[in-house]
Structure 1
Amino acid sequence: MIIVITDNTVRLDDPDIFTELAVDAVGLSRDSAAATAESAGAGTVDGDHLWVDLDFLRGHGRGTGDWNNAFAAMIDYAAGKGWTDAERNRVRAHIRWD
């Protein structure tokens, strides 16, 4: 999954790819990316990472049983690496600035 942040939108590309979670914020300042992500309900920028709200990802996914199972497995993997918050409401994704 790739989260794409532009000047005023956030979208989810490749929602069926569960082996990668990254953020493209090419050409944006940290402040601009943070403001857009927060206003879209996508998450919070922290340095070079976006703490992505899992409800945002679910809301932009396919919502099928197979998709939900694969998504849960991806989040379980991330949790095992320490890439989720304590409540498992958010997952950390690296931001690619350029």
Structure 2
Amino acid sequence: MTLPRDEDSALRHWSARLIQALQILDLEVDHEKIVEVAEESRKAVGPHADAISAFIVGFAAGTAATNGRKSTQEAVHAASDKVMELCEHGESGGPDEKGWAKRAQ
């Protein structure tokens, strides 16, 4: 997915403001990936699944990176890919379904 130039610029500016305000200065944000996750979540589940999915991807990535298991970028992509996989099934399927054991971050 490629974001329009104006939107990409606005998201980069907003991200820079948030990163500075929250003092997480070494964070790099893959805007296109997060927007893709949000859009697919909204389509698969409903209008507020986008925000919840983006938050959970960030939380999962932060946890994985903090524990030294993955770099931040690797953790974001792994969590995002997992969300995209879940979006393929909408509200059905998930960690409690057969075949999901031991697939967490």
Which has the greater radius of gyration?
2
Return the TM-score normalized by structure 1. Answer: 0.27
Bigger proportion of residues as helix: 2
- The structure, 1 or 2, with the larger RCO (C-alpha pairs under 8 Å, 6+ apart) is 1
